[in-house]
Amino acid sequence: MDTRLLVLPVPQRVAFEAGECWLPEPLTVGPTGSAAYDATIRRELNARTARQARTAQVQFLPAAGAPADLAEFATDPEGYALVAAANGVSVWAAQPAGHLYAALTLRQILRQCGHRIPCLRIGDKPKLRHRGAMLSFPQGHTAYRTTLMRHIVPELARWKINALYLYLESYFDFPSLPHFAGPGAMTPDDAKELDRFCQAYNIQLIPQLNVMAHCGEILTLQKYHHLVECPPNQDFRTLPGFNLCATTPEVRTLVETMLTDLFGCFSAPLIHVGGDEVSSLGECPRCQPHLTELGKPGLYLDYFGNVRDIAAKHGRKIGIWGDMLLHYYKDAKPEDRKRVFAPLRQNTVIYDWHYSGGSPDTLKFFVAEGFETIACSSTHLCYSSALWPGQAVNQRLLFGDAVAAGALGGMTTAWCNFTGLHEEHFNYLFASAGTVLWSGPGDKTLAPDLDLATFEKAYLLQRYGFTNDTLTRYWHILGDARGPVLSVLAPLHGVNPRKCLYHTDNVLTFWKHYAHLLRDDGLERYRTGIADARRIWEQVKTDTAAGVDPYLPYQEAPLLMHEHLLRRYEMTEAVYAAYDDAAKAQFEDPKLCTKRLNEAADRLLAHVNDFPPIEKYLTAARKEFGLDRSSQLRLAATRRKMEELAAFLRSLATSGRPLPAFIQMHDVFLDVPRTNWYGDREHEWATGPARFQRYTLQSGPWTAAVANADREADQA
Ligand SMILES: [Zn+2]
């Protein structure tokens, strides 16, 4: 076997001993004392309960009997001591969670070694007590999928994650607010079922509301629109809606209703209530008197103090993001600073979020202020178009700071499951985060004695059963910022590629934004990088044992995206060349002009043949992951508008109109141009067949001042 364990997270202490421990199938296990964990352990080890506990091959024993050198691990609330000897495996733990974690470690050892494992002694316990992962639902309106969640929860438990956050904002089928959530929302039955399922894996299921900012889902209902926080110089009826008013009693009642409903569905002692990125607070006439009395920090703390008190009535704590508290603290007068946090200090957990590296000062600050503090990194999903393995470095830095600051723990946020990708595509980064949260960071490596290459090797083995590195090579080709694909697209190599495909109905958008990057040798490099990724992905597919992981095939998503964008780009260049020829010939050689315009239209329509792979993918991703329907609608609209553009190109041949610059096809024909003045050559866009006419629309309020208004006032 390998000279080291390929187990994630890395146990704190491992010592190999002479000899082997044979664990023939079917494995027999003893009871842990927790019926729920026993069932989980049997499932995870593919084992059955021994008829007599003392004959079991794997024995779960109380911490008191642990070998002296491993006692410090066995007595930890989640720790364990595990000894594999010739006569079987013994596990000592103080709590059932420790027994469960030992079993999950054993599962990974069996996966690496088969049924003859080396004799060894393991002592293990977590560096951080709270180890969270988050999934987002409202951003993209991801529909709830039970099968997916039942797949994700055991995966997270295997990385020893013990808290699963569901970012709901208000996208939940609240029993007290019928018809509120809209289609696809998680229901109370879903929540209760998932809550039970998580408990059996030692995972707290923690819902996340947002009760001040990010409340667009509430405020875009007419029934609640008047609850928007509205500056005095505005009419609330004309505002889009983002912040709830902090003082209106109706808001407080609504929030209490939502909280109470969630407490009835989720058993966790903690609920996250948002509180981040507040852009408007205390500005409306209702708030003004309170603002004068309390100031913005006071108003914010009064509001969340009330939320905290509602939670306390139900025996729960609240969690809030740290950004606004840092902001208000910074702005407070020195003499006020001491009391800024006083109203919240009890029963409030702070989530200090930093997605691009460490933040030792803010973490130390919150801990010193007496808060239970959780450091929040991310998967960077909303900033990228493929798994970005480099984010593991940022996780290590931040969670390392959390350990050093004495924080309660860390969690990995995940935003915006939409436009073609879901967190499941980024599962690697939940494993890397779980590893650092449990094992702590290494000095220069991901975790102590675990470099990134070894992490990846262990991850592929444990998640997918792969013993080669083909899949990680695929991920790096598509995901590394300096890799062969993204380096060509820099600086637009983050989320832009997938937005140019799934967040537009304009077939020319990718070309418009990337032409300057793909000219010269860029296109060839992009093509080569994509071809390499395709070759390696085909290898991944042949390596796959049938049914090894139902979600593995979806890892093809970023490749399908790039392949499509490449074809779209090649199409556009060909259309451009024909169109440019047509323009040159237009009034000298009308026949040639017509021929070229027809060629341009034909080439454009041939691109329709490139759609089935991504359409098929989106349909499947909708079914499996609940990804947004809007992306499917945008693709369908893109095709429709391509047909219109093709018809327009053909019509230009006989129109007598000098051909508009090609970019006008993007800016005017396929988009609605907005301007406060008039569009260039709008007179030509306003004539011709109605189907092809276009006009500009106002882009914003007309701000030009009335001439000599001051003089008018003087005369009054
Ligand atoms: Zn207000």
The pocket of ion ligand 1, defined by CB under 5 A, consists of 229, 245, 284, 286-287
Bond preceding residue 77 cis, omega within 30 of 0: no
Q: Which of 307-316, 473-482, 559-568, 706-715 has the lowest mean pLDDT?
A: 706-715
Count of beta carbons in the 10 Å neighbourhood of residue 311: 24
Reported as a pLDDT band with limits 50, 70 and 90, residue 238 is very high
**Nearest-angstrom CA–CA distance, 103 and 80:** 10
Ligand 1: centre distance to CA 241 (Å)? 12
Average pLDDT for 193-213 = 97
**Nearest-angstrom CA–CA distance, 161 and 710:** 66
Query: CATH homologous superfamily of domain 130-461?
Result: Glycosidases (3.20.20.80)
Q: Is the dihedral of CA 222, 224, 229, 230 positive or negative?
A: positive
Count of beta carbons in the 10 Å neighbourhood of residue 484: 18
**Nearest-angstrom CA–CA distance, 301 and 467:** 53
Give the per-residue pLDDT at 394.
97
Give the per-residue pLDDT at 375.
98
DSSP category for residue 550: T
**Nearest-angstrom CA–CA distance, 189 and 186:** 8
Ligand 1: centre distance to CA 343 (Å)? 20
Over residues 648-671, the pLDDT tens digits come to: 999 999 999 999 999 999 999 999
Ligand 1: centre distance to CA 287 (Å)? 4
CB burial string 365-394: b at 16+ within 10 A, e below: bbbebebbbbbbbbbbbbbbbbbbbbbbeb
Query: CATH homologous superfamily of domain 13-124?
Result: Chitobiase/beta-hexosaminidase domain 2-like (3.30.379.10)
Ligand 1: centre distance to CA 222 (Å)? 17
Q: Quick one: which of 157, 7, 161, 162 has its CA closest to 84?
A: 7
**Nearest-angstrom CA–CA distance, 273 and 323:** 13
Ligand 1: centre distance to CA 282 (Å)? 5
Ligand 1: centre distance to CA 226 (Å)? 10
Name every residue whose Cβ is closer than 8 Å to that of residue 347 and which is 6 or more positions away in sequence.
308, 311, 312, 317, 318
DSSP category for residue 102: H
From the DSSP assignment, how many helices (H) and strands (E) are in the chain? 26, 15
Ligand 1: centre distance to CA 283 (Å)? 6
Question: 279 in helix, strand or coil?
Answer: coil
Ligand 1: centre distance to CA 332 (Å)? 21
Helix axes 557-585, 470-479, angle to 10 degrees: 40
**Nearest-angstrom CA–CA distance, 475 and 387:** 7
Ligand 1: centre distance to CA 147 (Å)? 42
**Nearest-angstrom CA–CA distance, 72 and 155:** 27
Average pLDDT for 88-101 = 97
Over residues 242-281, the pLDDT tens digits come to: 999 999 999 999 999 999 999 999 999 999 999 999 999 9
Ligand 1: centre distance to CA 306 (Å)? 15
What percentage of the chain exceeds 90 in pLDDT?
89
Contact call for residues 409 and 130 (beta carbons, < 8 A): yes
Ligand 1: centre distance to CA 104 (Å)? 50
Q: Quick one: which of 557, 560, 541 has its CA closest to 549?
A: 541
Reported as a pLDDT band with limits 50, 70 and 90, residue 547 is low
CB burial string 636-666: b at 16+ within 10 A, e below: eebeebbeebbebbbbbbeeeeebbebebbb
ipTM of the complex: 0.99
Rounded to the nearest integer, the mean pLDDT of the chain is: 95
Give the per-residue pLDDT at 545.
64
Over residues 407-425, the pLDDT tens digits come to: 999 999 999 889 999 999 9
Whether 323 has a pLDDT exceeding 70, the answer reads yes
Residue with tokens 């695929």: 474
Reported as a pLDDT band with limits 50, 70 and 90, residue 706 is confident
Ligand 1: centre distance to CA 247 (Å)? 6
Give the per-residue pLDDT at 307.
96
Over residues 336-353, the pLDDT tens digits come to: 777 778 888 889 999 999
Average pLDDT for 676-684 = 90
Residue with tokens 């454009």: 604
> Which tokens is 293 given?
């009395």
Question: 271 in helix, strand or coil?
Answer: strand
Give the per-residue pLDDT at 701.
84
Count of beta carbons in the 10 Å neighbourhood of residue 237: 10
Ligand 1: centre distance to CA 290 (Å)? 9
Give the per-residue pLDDT at 713.
65
Name every residue whose Cβ is closer than 8 Å to that of residue 154 and which is 6 or more positions away in sequence.
44, 201
Name every residue whose Cβ is closer than 8 Å to that of residue 404 and which is 6 or more positions away in sequence.
360, 363
Ligand 1: centre distance to CA 238 (Å)? 16
Ligand 1: centre distance to CA 298 (Å)? 14
* Domain range summary for the chain, segments of one domain joined by +: 13-124, 130-461, 486-671
Ligand 1: centre distance to CA 340 (Å)? 21
Q: Quick one: which of 10, 7, 2 has its CA closest to 447?
A: 10
